[in-house]
Structure 1
Amino acid sequence: MILLNEEEIKELLTMDECIPAVEQAFNLLGQEQAYNLPRGRIRTEPFEEKYSYWMNCIPGAVPGMGVAALRIDSAVQELVRNANRTRGAHRDYRYCGLVLLFDSRSGLLLSILPDFTLSGIRVGATTAVGTKYLAREDASRVALFGSGKQARTNLEGVCKVRRVTRVSVFSPSPIHREEFANEMSERLGIEVRPATSPDEAVRGAEIVVCATNAMLPVFDGRNLEPGSHVASIVGGDKHDLRLRGRLRQEVDDTTLERSDLVVLNSREQAKLDEQADVAALLKKGKRNWEEFSELGELVAGKARGRPGADAITLHLNNTGMGIQFAAAASVAYQKAK
């Protein structure tokens, strides 16, 4: 059994290797040759007025890759409130996240890995897979919302599957978006420039990536260009309404209604968590459950892709999945052996 640490994960797991591994896992899932249980979460009532305990469990198995995995997180979150959102912020000294990697043939534990770096890469890889199958082949201009870990890995993932020439990034903090633009311009070798408003960021973009911790929509869907592809990483759950006063929704109703094709990681998770973006379309009669494709079905060729050059597509990267963790952890484990 191999025990890995964060620094080793950073050396072992690259986006170039993670994207095809995650794509393979979704392909096998779409062919019903991989297995995934919905994410399970426990969130307690607040204590000491502003803290809540949080546990996250995500299992999955990919026999075609010879592995299974369980991702488990235990954390105390501080409920941070400001003018337009209530969010849970991890306190570094009150967080423990692990991935247990198993051999699906012997049942033995292969490795225990920390999940912080690995999880960011697998989310970015999943957004990359969605972009590969849904964005126009010639898409090169990206609007990015967010300036944290997820924004970095999601942008890197998109740049691996499309020839991106320009990125416009918006974050509520001018300092954060300027620092992010400088860092990622140098790292990716492309033009990344800070935008002063969401409207400026979206203007002219062919791919829009939302990688934030916001509770409210981050841009106005009326500003989307025809032919755009939108990716959102929000995977909120019904506990948000109890603890934060509303359900999370990173893209607005207009974006949802303008989208000609909506693809989810998991329909089952959206149902269980009563996720706001999907519920908004269902309540208005704009979609029924059968009209939401899953990423695995798309990759396996069982669901239609982009309807046309001017169509707007939306990938709701709406949950972490055990198959993602199995695929990503397997890459790191095989290199560490």
Structure 2
Amino acid sequence: MALLLTNDDAKQVLTMGDTVFVLERLYEDLGRGRAVYRGRTDLFIPTSADVGDDMPAAYQLKTLDGAVPRLEVGSIRVTSDVVAFPTVNGQRRRIKIPAAKNKRYVGLVFLFSSATGELISVLQDGFLQQYSVGAINGIGAKYLARKDATRVALFGAGGQAPPQLLALKEVRPITRVQVYTPTPGEAVAFAERHAAKMGLEMVAAASPEEVLEGADIVVTATNSRVPFFPAAWLAPGMHLSCLQRDEACNDCFRKLDVVVFHTRAKELEYASSDFAEMERRHHFEMRDHPKRDIDWNDFPDLGALVTGRIAGRTDDRQRTFFLNSTGCGAQYTAVAHLVYTRAKERGLGHQVPTDWFVQEIG
């Protein structure tokens, strides 16, 4: 039987501590060439969805796959999204439009047995994505942030921000979080909502300068498509942890002492020529991230860091930088396997016949 699992099922069995643990083991496998994955693939075509204001928008079909021999599984993550790129507070951002029934989104992980080839589980990807991304940045901080780091400066207050903090708590003795967003009221609401349940002191900051005061670790968890964080904002000894590539300015890649990418495998993007008129009107090229003059091959990846092929922080005054450059299909393989195994043990989810997903060829 194949097991269908929802985000609610995953929340019952997946902790951030376990996510950090299984992903650190995965990056040991990747660093030694045992586990495999390939770069993300994005397809863009026009959408008839109502996205509101006149802005660049598209249907985006995204896939990431990976396989982990130690776990005897392979997987593919598929997201089927309507996306838009509005200008907010003078900066281009990327947002997902809840265009599916009842204002929902579509994202699934298909998990397969490497012993039989059979589909063993289909999982909603939302909770897995947030926890795995948080854990990956947390692993980066484990090797790059000062061991005595207690204070975090957080840029952004959306759904990706809480898992970033939960992961940092697993690897460093975090006690205080200073939150900044350019949207009035968001930082205050975030602090009020999360401080008590995370067991952290949280305060809203009124400016980038204020949020950075006294910080040991800086987390950028935004959907900006315009770089806004310059190297000059990072004081000696601080660690910068970016959720995605469009947050740090180019000088961060040149001037900071240690720079590590999540992965050097860039996504492949294919866009319909039907976007030509829209691209001209908005002075916008249809792609998930704007092009930048940065060679990813100039930087080591997380697998090299975890296996010790490169050094992490070696001095408390170093300025370090971890970039979650893009997703890695194997991260979903490892976390989906953990959720599937635990959900199966607890009798969660809905079973469907494996026969529905196998065929004869002749």
Does the pair score TM above 0.5?
Answer: yes
Structure 2 counterpart of 1:104: 114
**1:172, CA displacement in angstroms?**
1.6
1:255 to 237, 252, 256: 252
**1:132, CA displacement in angstroms?**
0.6
Q: Deviations over 1:60-99 (max 9, x none)?
A: 0111122211100111123322342233322223331000
Question: Structure 1 residues 141, 280: closer, same or farther in 2, change over 3 A?
Answer: farther
Question: In the aligned structure 2, how far is the partner of 1:87 from the partner of 1:151?
Answer: 16
Contact 1:198–1:219 (8 Å) recurs in 2? no
**1:323, CA displacement in angstroms?**
1.1
1:289 and 2:290 matched = no
Question: In the aligned structure 2, how far is the partner of 1:268 from the partner of 1:142?
Answer: 29
Contact 2:40–2:268 (8 Å) recurs in 1? no
**1:156, CA displacement in angstroms?**
1.0
1:264 and 2:261 matched = yes
Question: In the aligned structure 2, how far is the partner of 1:5 from the partner of 1:130?
Answer: 28
Question: In the aligned structure 2, how far is the partner of 1:188 from the partner of 1:46?
Answer: 39
Equivalence map 1:22-101=2 (5 Å) = 22-45=23-46, 50=55, 51-94=57-100, 95-101=105-111
Structure 2 counterpart of 1:114: 124
Q: Which amino acid aligns with 2:88?
A: N
2:181 to 162, 171, 195: 171
Contact 1:210–1:250 (8 Å) recurs in 2? yes
Question: What secondary structure sits across from 2:314 in the alignment?
Answer: coil
Q: Which amino acid aligns with 2:314?
A: P
Equivalence map 1:286-325=2 (5 Å) = 289-290=297-298, 292-325=299-332
Question: In the aligned structure 2, how far is the partner of 1:196 from the partner of 1:155?
Answer: 20
TM-score by length of 1: 0.88
Question: In the aligned structure 1, how far is the partner of 2:297 from the partner of 2:198?
Answer: 38
**1:307, CA displacement in angstroms?**
3.5
Contact 2:66–2:333 (8 Å) recurs in 1? yes
Structure 2 counterpart of 1:125: 135
Of stretches 54-63 and 265-274 in structure 1, the one that deviates more from structure 2 is 265-274
What is the identity percentage for the equivalent residue pairs of Structure 1 and Structure 2? 35
Q: Deviations over 1:171-205 (max 9, x none)?
A: 12232211111222111111111111111111221
Question: In the aligned structure 2, how far is the partner of 1:164 from the partner of 1:100?
Answer: 35
Structure 1 counterpart of 2:200: 190
Kindly indicate whether structure 1 or structure 2 has the higher relative contact order, using CA contacts under 8 Å at least 6 residues apart: 2
Question: In the aligned structure 2, how far is the partner of 1:60 from the partner of 1:39?
Answer: 10
- The structure whose Rg is larger is 2
Question: Structure 1 residues 264, 271: closer, same or farther in 2, change over 3 A?
Answer: farther
Question: In the aligned structure 1, how far is the partner of 2:288 from the partner of 2:59?
Answer: 21
Question: In the aligned structure 2, how far is the partner of 1:264 from the partner of 1:157?
Answer: 18
Structure 2 counterpart of 1:161: 171
Question: In the aligned structure 1, how far is the partner of 2:25 from the partner of 2:115?
Answer: 18
Question: What secondary structure sits across from 1:143 in the alignment?
Answer: strand
* Residues matched between the structures, number: 317
Contact 2:39–2:268 (8 Å) recurs in 1? no
TM-score by length of 2: 0.82
Equivalence map 1:227-242=2 (5 Å) = 227-235=237-245
Question: In the aligned structure 2, how far is the partner of 1:258 from the partner of 1:124?
Answer: 25
**1:102, CA displacement in angstroms?**
1.4
Structure 2 counterpart of 1:245: none
Gaps of 5+ in 1: 236-248, 283-287
Contact 1:142–1:207 (8 Å) recurs in 2? yes
Q: Deviations over 1:178-234 (max 9, x none)?
A: 111122211111111111111111122111111110122343431211011111111
**1:303, CA displacement in angstroms?**
1.6
Question: What secondary structure sits across from 2:266 in the alignment?
Answer: helix
Contact 2:39–2:267 (8 Å) recurs in 1? no
Question: In the aligned structure 1, how far is the partner of 2:256 from the partner of 2:17?
Answer: 29
Question: In the aligned structure 2, how far is the partner of 1:178 from the partner of 1:26?
Answer: 36
Question: What secondary structure sits across from 2:86 in the alignment?
Answer: strand
Structure 2 counterpart of 1:285: none
Question: In the aligned structure 1, how far is the partner of 2:267 from the partner of 2:233?
Answer: 26
**1:149, CA displacement in angstroms?**
1.1
**Structure with higher helix content:** 1
Q: Which amino acid aligns with 2:318?
A: A
Contact 1:80–1:87 (8 Å) recurs in 2? yes
Contact 1:139–1:207 (8 Å) recurs in 2? yes
Question: In the aligned structure 2, how far is the partner of 1:264 from the partner of 1:14?
Answer: 24
Question: Structure 1 residues 329, 270: closer, same or farther in 2, change over 3 A?
Answer: closer
